[in-house]
Structure 1
Amino acid sequence: MFDHARDLPDDLERLQTLRIWHALCLDRIDRKIAYLQERQAAEERGRARRPPTPDWILELNRTTGHPLAVHVGDCGMTGHRTQPVSHDSARRLLTTDQVPACPFCRPDTELHIVDLADRPAGLQARTPAGPSLARAARLEQPCHSGGYPASEVTGVCHPEQEP
């Protein structure tokens, strides 16, 4: 810190004061280092104890506990109430139980479920037998304003896009 003897005071009292001041600074620095090392060790212990991220997550309704959506394990769009599910359970929930797939992480695509990947997210709602026959017939009929079929998602008429 001091390169030359002339940087230090000449009297003993001031030299002792400087030594005490530097000892206090070193003590403060040592306490801060010990605190940070303990905090880092606690974080590492927490990481080691944390269970691994599940491959698939089922998001549940907060009040009823009914399934809301299936997510990929690392999806950031899950709600507060979730539970891990197995690969087979995720496939069953998406196909048989018709639980919606998260539109952000697309677990149906990850699970190679083709028929769900092609459906719009709004049509993946939980229904016993899928869309009603009357709704399906209504969507296939031409619209009253120009003969265009109605959109499956909005029900609004639009021209068919040509390839």
Structure 2
Amino acid sequence: MWAQIRELAIAVTDHPYWASLPREEVVSARMTLKKKARPADEPTEAEGVDAVRRPDPLLPLPPSLDQLQVIRRWLELTLTRVDERITALRAEEDEKARRLPLPAAPDWWVEYGNGARRMPELAHTGVCETTSRGKPSTAQAVRELLLSGRGVMACPQCRPDSELGLLDT
């Protein structure tokens, strides 16, 4: 794209019109062209003498054909970039839609200790956020671990033993 912009800039600056001017006047002529305003709006015969044509509120366009062609080329390049970005974003959205949704969070967790033994240490409810190392479990498996007497404790924050009704027995 930058190569196209460079070619367009070269085409504008090397236009034969600039060669026809004396070298001393080229810069001032370019500045005059740059600053040149639109011609005054004149009413058409159909509008009558009292009517005045209102300027285009979106974009005042220059009167020069060369300037209009440069603007047109720039808009084409910009539109191409916008179309490419739209295509990329649609592809990303399609990819997200194709992905499977994340599985639901488990209702129960069993946290395992460090080291070679990696024995169960704590039981958690599924909403407990105090652990990141553990495995999902079932209510029955957590109940059996808590009642087994193998040293598995209930998390003091989420209290799975009260959730399972073990404190009532």
Q: TM-score, normalised by structure 2?
A: 0.53
* Structure with more relative contact order (C-alpha pairs < 8 Å, separation 6 or more): 2
CA contact (8 A) 2:108 2:125 kept: yes
What do the CA deviations read for 1:81-105 (whole angstroms, capped 9, x no partner)? Answer: x221111001111222441222332
Alignment partner of 1:86 is 2:138: yes
Alignment partner of 1:102 is 2:155: yes
Equivalent residue, structure 2, for 1:57: 109
Superposition map of 1:112-151 within 5 A: 112-114=165-167
Partner AA of 2:86 in structure 1: I
More helix by share: 2
Q: Percent identity?
A: 35
What do the CA deviations read for 1:8-41 (whole angstroms, capped 9, x no partner)? Answer: 1112222222222223323333333333333334
CA distance in 2, matches of 1:89, 1:58: 9
What stretches of structure 2 of length at least 5 have no aligned partner? 1-54
Equivalent residue, structure 2, for 1:77: 130
Q: Using the TM superposition, give the Cα deviation of residue 114 of structure 1 relative to its aligned residue in structure 2, in angstroms.
A: 1.6
CA distance in 1, matches of 2:151, 2:122: 9
Q: Using the TM superposition, give the Cα deviation of residue 6 of structure 1 relative to its aligned residue in structure 2, in angstroms.
A: 7.5
Moved over 4 A (4+): none
CA distance in 1, matches of 2:60, 2:140: 76
Look up the SS of the partner of 1:108 in the other structure. Answer: helix
Larger radius of gyration: 2
Count of residue pairs brought into register by the alignment: 113
Q: TM-score, normalised by structure 1?
A: 0.55
Equivalent residue, structure 1, for 2:83: 30
Look up the SS of the partner of 2:131 in the other structure. Answer: coil
